[in-house]
Structure formats: structure tokens, C-alpha cells
Amino acid sequence: MSLPREIIRALPKTDLHLHLDGSLRLGTLIDLAKERHVELPSYTEEGLNELVFRSHYNSLVEYLQGFNYTCAVLTDAEALERTAYELAWDNINEGVRYIEVRFAPQLHIRPNFSLEEVIRAINKGFEKAQNEYNASDPVTKNGEPPFYYGLITCAMRFFTAESSPYYAKLMDVFREAPLGEIYSMASLELARAVVRLRDEEDIPIVGFDLAGAEAGHPASEHEAAYHYVHKNFMHKTVHAGEAYGPESIFQAITDLHADRIGHGYHLFSPELCGPSVADPQRYIQRLIRHIADSRITIEVCMTSNLQTNPAIGSPENHAFGKMLANNLSATLCTDNRLVSHTTVTDEVELAMNTFNINPKQLRDIIVYGFKRSFFYGPYTQRRKYVRQVLNYYDSIIAAYEAKK
């Protein structure tokens, strides 16, 4: 099946794996850097694309370089609100009608800028864009689906004192503590704070995430934080299987109660199983069965994976093809719109051009994004919204087919 790009762009879509600090507009990054006296390697979009935000990267280290600059400017309410507002409209303008945006609040805290203020500023930007679009003619007169968003806060598997002033202070106070305990404390503190903010201020914090280097930094160090959000009815997702193997995915599901898996690329990599797994192939087959039976959705980021893991080679080698073959619930996401130079439209187009995706599969892929979202409103509203999206999706396809 192939669809013209303009039809893919018009279809209602989601992005469930979207990092705020990796998805700024380049022009905004330059503006904020100048205003905040942050040094950049270049102050032109062409220069930054050549030196930092490339179309291809040689390693994950190169890929992550750009975050040093984006995080350096996202240190006050004005910068975060502007970035959130623009990111919402960038998605709206390409047909994306539901997003869940993730960020690590503790990276943005400064001495005069608290965790609460970080989250309030980000929420203010998204809420403003949501209200503007939902009051516009396409929604009120033409019946197009409204736009909604949710916030996902990220704990970090690993950090150093240089990661942010907040982490520097934490590590200074607990100088004698093992690093794993410090990582655990930071995650639990974040979990307590975001549950309180959600409950006291009705901020749509819909999920909790764990990001950062997998190898050497097990999910088990963050069990206390995930147990806390779990018993407080907050959804959970985990970066797993991006740079480590199937056991990392299994640990995310069993130890952290993950409702979704971020990336999950190495689900099918027996060579990455550790010595405790006697039969890697059997282990993976049982894990696949468990994921399928539990309808745990995988947040697939094809372009990002191809950039951070050059060994994949061509898109045909991406694990998304095996996910489709095993009928897993998987939805296409951008990861980082700026760092990966991608959009949801690009990701759908890449998948369709790479794999033999039939009409039912495409509809399922997009619908999984809506059905397996951590939608903030009541279940009845969510069901009504999904039905509205499906009707609109089907009307676009029907109109296209009628013109062929």
C-alpha cells in the first residue's frame, strides 16, 4: 500500500514518544541562546545542521551532543513555555492530534527555578496551543478531531554532577552513598512530586518514564519510584531495548510494571542476552508472547534507531518488520524532531516505503497510538474521542479512494 504524502499528513496521528528537549525549532534554539548568552557552535540554522544536528550520526554519543545545547537554554519559564507552545503547533500542523511529551524536570531546575515551575511552564505552553486549536474552525465547524496532550516526566538511569545543578546538589549532599542509591533517590523524589502536582493542580501528567543509558544501570534501581507511581494510578513507560537486550525489556515489564516500552528495538536480539539466559531464542519467544498477550505497546522510533545504531544499516533491517510479523501492538513515534530531523508524517512514510504495510495494518498502527495512549480525561471521553478519530481517518481514506 502506498499513500501520497499529503494524505499521510492529513490523517489524524499520535506521537507517544516525543522528547521536549530534542524537538525545539532551530530558530528558537538560536534565539534563546542569544538571549541567554549560551554559546553555540554556530548561530545559523545551516551551521548547526552541519556541526550538531546532522542527518546521520556515527554513534549515540554524537547523537546526544545536541542536548547539551538545548538543555542549556531551557532553564526558565519563558523558554520552556515557548518551546512547548511551538512543539504543539508543529504537531497540529502536520495532522497529529494527540501527543505525549516527555522531559526530565530535574535537568531544568535552577536555584531560582523549581521543579513545580518547570512543569507549570511546560504545561502552560501546551495548554495554550490546545485551547487555541480546539476553538478554531476546523474543530468547531468542520468536525475535525480536537488536539490533546499529556506530559510524561522522566527519571534518569544515570547522571553526573555536571548534568544539572539539581543533580550536583544531590550528589554533594550524599557524598558517601553508592551511585545506585542516589539514582534511586532522585527518581523517588520526582515520583512523589509529579503525583502531588497532578493531584493538587490537575496538571495532565499522564505517565512516568525512565530514560538514559541502559547498560550498567538496571531498572531495578528505580523500583521504589515506579512502585510509588503505580500505587498512585499513574501510567508507566520505560526506555528499554534501545541500547540493551531483551532482559532489559523484561525487567521494565516485571519490575517497573511498564504499560508501554520505549523503543524496544533489541527485543529480537538473542546475542544480547546475558549468561543467565540458558536458551535465548526460547526466552525471546516467551517474551514476545507475553508482550502480545498483555497488549503492551512498543513506541517505535525508526529514524532515531537508525541514527543512534549505525550497525542497523538500511531501514529494512529495523525490528519494526518483526514486530508487524508477530502482530505486536506498536505505534510510530519521532523521539526527537530536531535531533533526528523527522516528523510523524516522515516516520509513517518511512515505514510504508520500507515494509509491505497493508491498509488494515496502517490503520492499526495509527489507532494503537490513540487506544494505548495515557489519555488524561475519563474513559468515556477517551472512547468517544477514539471513535471520532477513527471516523475522521476513514473519511479521509474513503475520499482518497474515491478520487483514484
| 175 contacts 147 by C-beta, under 8 angstroms | no
DSSP state of 220: G
Which phi and psi (to 5°) does residue 15 adopt? -140, 105
Beta strands in 249-309 (DSSP E): 260-263, 297-300
Which phi and psi (to 5°) does residue 273 adopt? -75, 145
As a whole number of angstroms, the distance between CA 272 and CA 403 comes to: 49
Active-site residue 200, yes or no? no
DSSP state of 162: T
H-run or E-run covering 103? strand 96-103
| 54 contacts 67 by C-beta, under 8 angstroms | no
| 57 contacts 308 by C-beta, under 8 angstroms | yes
Kindly name the residue from 242, 247, 347, 349 that is annotated as catalytic.
Answer: 242
210: β partners: 155
Q: Which three cell numbers stand for residue 192?
A: 512523589
Q: Which residues are catalytic?
A: 242
